């Protein structure tokens, strides 16, 4: 009982923090002290644990609130159009003005192709153009000349018709006059013949002289001859009428032809002038093309950026379309962020985005969502997955989202951004 009492006293002393001397303590020496653990240290650890738990709870709350208002991803990079500069004409390079990793501005010279052949082609095209212009001027002048000639021909044919009609009328009048003379000659012939018949018995009875009878016979013969001549004159005048009628018909035909073909002749000349003008335009196009080809011998930078992958040197013979180098832009940039499909529920175009660039020590930029891609990255890959075959395993897909910088000119004055740099976008999906 005494031993148990001592043990209980010792435990009580350890709990209360006091030092008790047991009976087994050696004599002649200092009593051995046993220190109990300090309650203050346990309290500090407990307090630290509580603080850590509170901090973790606050961090979890902040993360939860952040996850409700923001969406982010580490699968994002700076993007931009890479401009491939190629030759537009074939020829020998006479000098190159840039080197790899050199910064150039839009319009800066890159290289030059020997322009001599293109200068000769331009001069030939200009000579052909001058010749075509001369032909056009001639054809253009012929249009009014032809119009005047046609008008004159129509008027002349009209005058010829009138003249032929007058000639016909005159010939018909002459026929009438000739017929009148025939009638007169016929009357004279009848009278003379009657005189001969009347004088014939008288001369036989010697009532009249033989001379008077011969005179009557001669007169009758003369009047008969005059009658024959008058009849022949009538036939001649009738033939003349026919001839004038034929001339009238010809004049009328020529008038109709002139009126009908006159406009066509003018149209023909107008068509020739139009064809000459088209030839001028064709040769003008050739001159313009020759000038363009000559200008293409001087290869310049299409945009500002950094020269990369230079593949041209002096003395090299270029072919049309041959790649010379690539220019990486420094201003026309954006961010392509591949968000998980589970992050797109509240995401839409126009939402503001905070951007941090890893290569620049987390430097911040501002932007906004411009558009959300039309398909997932796996669907747009060279070999899209075929889920209808084999064992299907559901994988969270990613969809590219384009984010445009809203103040790139001010935030990237030093042109530090480069296409391909990793970016962490933070999209505000809820205000």
Looking at the chain, the whole-number percentage of residues with pLDDT higher than 90 is 39
Whether the CB-CB separation of 397 and 309 falls below 8 Å is answered with no
pLDDT band of 211, cuts 50, 70, 90 = confident
CB-count exposure of residue 349 (10 Å: 0-12, 13-18, 19+): exposed
Lowest mean pLDDT among 81-90, 313-322, 390-399: 390-399
Please state the pTM of the whole predicted model.
0.57
pLDDT at 69: 80
Least confident of 17-21, 186-190, 231-235: 17-21
Asked if the model's pLDDT at residue 406 lies above 50, the reply is yes
Q: Cα–Cα distance between 73 and 83 in angstroms, integer?
A: 28
Whether pLDDT at 277 is above 70: yes
- The answer on pLDDT for 11 being more than 60 is no
Strand order in the sheet with 91-96: 298-300, 109-113, 91-96, 317-318
Has residue 212 got a pLDDT over 60? yes
For 304, list phi and psi in degrees, rounded to 5.
-85, 140
Element (H, E) at 326: strand 323-329
**CATH topology (fold) of 73-80+332-431:** Elongation Factor Tu (Ef-tu); domain 3 (2.40.30)
- Residue in the structure block whose two tokens are 């119009």: 147
What is the residue extent of each domain of the chain?
A: 1-34, 37-72, 73-80+332-431, 116-296
What is the rounded distance in angstroms from the CA atom of residue 353 to the CA atom of residue 266? 73
Closest among 303, 307, 330 to 408, alpha carbons compared: 330
Q: How is domain 116-296 classified at the architecture level of CATH?
A: Orthogonal Bundle (1.10)
> And the tokens for 266?
């003018």
pLDDT value at residue 15: 39
How far CA 33 is from CA of 5, 7, 153, 312, in Å, comes to 19, 15, 152, 91
User: Residue 271's pLDDT is what?
Assistant: 85
Residue owning tokens 């032929």:
164
For the segment 281-338, what is each residue's pLDDT rounded down to a tens digit?
999 999 999 999 999 999 999 999 999 999 999 999 999 999 999 999 888 899 999 9
Same fold, 73-80+332-431 and 116-296: no
Q: Mean pLDDT, the chain, as a whole number?
A: 80
Residue 289 half-sphere exposure toward CB, CA atoms < 13 A: 11
In this prediction, residue 3 has a pLDDT band, given cuts at 50, 70 and 90, of very low
Residue 2 confidence (pLDDT): 39
For residue range 21-62, list pLDDT tens digits in order.
444 444 444 445 555 555 555 567 777 888 888 888 888 776
Report the distance separating Cα 311 and Cα 321, nearest Å: 13
Query: Which pLDDT score is estimated for 217?
Result: 77
Residue with tokens 């004599």: 27
CA distance 21 to 27: 11
Condensed to tens digits (0 to 9), the pLDDT of residues 138-167 reads 888 887 777 777 677 666 766 666 776 777
- 119-133 pLDDT, tens digit per residue, is 999 999 999 999 999
Q: Which phi and psi (to 5°) does residue 104 adopt?
A: -125, 155
Task: Tally helices (H) and strands (E) across the chain.
Answer: 5, 15
* Rounded CA separation 401/395 (Å): 19
Contact 386, 393 (CB under 8 A): no
Long-range contacts of 341-349 (CB under 8 A, 24+ apart): 341/376, 341/396, 341/397, 341/398, 341/399, 342/396, 343/71, 343/73, 344/372, 344/399, 344/401, 346/71, 346/429, 346/430, 347/71, 347/372, 347/401, 347/427, 347/429, 348/372
Residue range 251-268: mean pLDDT, rounded: 69
Decide: helix, strand or coil at residue 259.
helix
In whole angstroms, what is the distance from residue 89 CA to residue 119 CA?
A: 13
Q: How many CB atoms lie within 10 A of CB 77?
A: 16
Is residue 289 within 8 Å of residue 96, measured between CB atoms?
Answer: no
**pLDDT mean over 268-279:** 87
Task: Give the pLDDT of residue 13.
Answer: 43
| 116: pLDDT strictly greater than 90 | yes
Q: What is the pLDDT of residue 254?
A: 66
* For residue 410, pLDDT beyond 80: yes
């Amino acid at each position: 009982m005494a031993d148990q009492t001592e043990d209980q006293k010792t435990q009580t002393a350890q709990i209360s923090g006091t030092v008790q001397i047991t009976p087994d303590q050696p004599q002649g020496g200092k009593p051995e002290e046993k220190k109990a653990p300090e309650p203050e240290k346990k309290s500090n650890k407990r307090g630290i644990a509580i603080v850590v738990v509170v901090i973790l709870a606050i961090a979890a709350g902040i993360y939860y609130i952040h996850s409700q208002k923001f969406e982010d991803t580490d699968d994002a990079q700076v993007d931009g159009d890479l401009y491939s500069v190629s030759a537009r004409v074939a020829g020998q390079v006479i000098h190159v003005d840039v080197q790899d990793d050199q910064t150039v501005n839009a319009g800066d010279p890159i290289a030059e192709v020997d322009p001599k052949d293109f200068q000769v082609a331009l001069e030939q095209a200009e000579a052909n153009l001058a010749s075509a212009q001369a032909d056009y001027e001639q054809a253009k002048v012929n249009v009014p000349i032809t119009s005047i000639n046609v008008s004159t021909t129509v008027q002349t044919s009209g005058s010829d018709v009138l003249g032929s009609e007058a000639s016909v009328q005159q010939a018909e009048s002459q026929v009438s006059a000739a017929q009148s003379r025939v009638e007169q000659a016929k009357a004279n012939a009848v009278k003379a013949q009657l005189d001969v018949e009347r004088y014939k018995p008288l001369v036989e009875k010697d009532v009249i002289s033989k001379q008077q009878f011969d005179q009557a016979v001669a007169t009758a013969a003369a009047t008969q001859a005059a009658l024959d001549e008058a009849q022949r004159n009538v036939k001649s005048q009738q033939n003349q009428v026919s001839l004038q009628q034929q001339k009238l018909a010809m004049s009328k035909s020529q008038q109709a032809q002139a009126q009908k073909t006159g406009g066509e002749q003018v149209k023909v000349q107008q068509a020739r002038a139009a064809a000459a003008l088209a030839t001028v335009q064709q040769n003008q196009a050739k001159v313009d093309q020759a000038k363009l080809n000559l200008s293409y011998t001087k290869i310049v930078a299409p945009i500002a950026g950094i020269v990369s992958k230079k593949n041209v040197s002096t003395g090299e013979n270029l072919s049309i379309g041959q790649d010379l180098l690539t220019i990486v832009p420094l201003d026309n940039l954006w961010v392509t962020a591949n968000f998980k499909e589970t992050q797109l529920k509240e995401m839409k175009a126009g939402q503001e985005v905070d951007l941090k660039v890893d290569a620049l020590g987390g430097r911040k930029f501002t932007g906004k969502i411009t558009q959300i891609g039309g398909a997932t990255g796996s669907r747009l890959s060279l070999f899209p997955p075929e889920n209808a075959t084999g064992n299907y395993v559901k994988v969270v897909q990613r969809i590219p989202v384009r984010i445009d910088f809203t103040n790139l000119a001010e935030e990237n004055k030093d042109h530090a951004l480069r296409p391909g740099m990793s970016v962490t976008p933070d999209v505000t999906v809820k205000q």
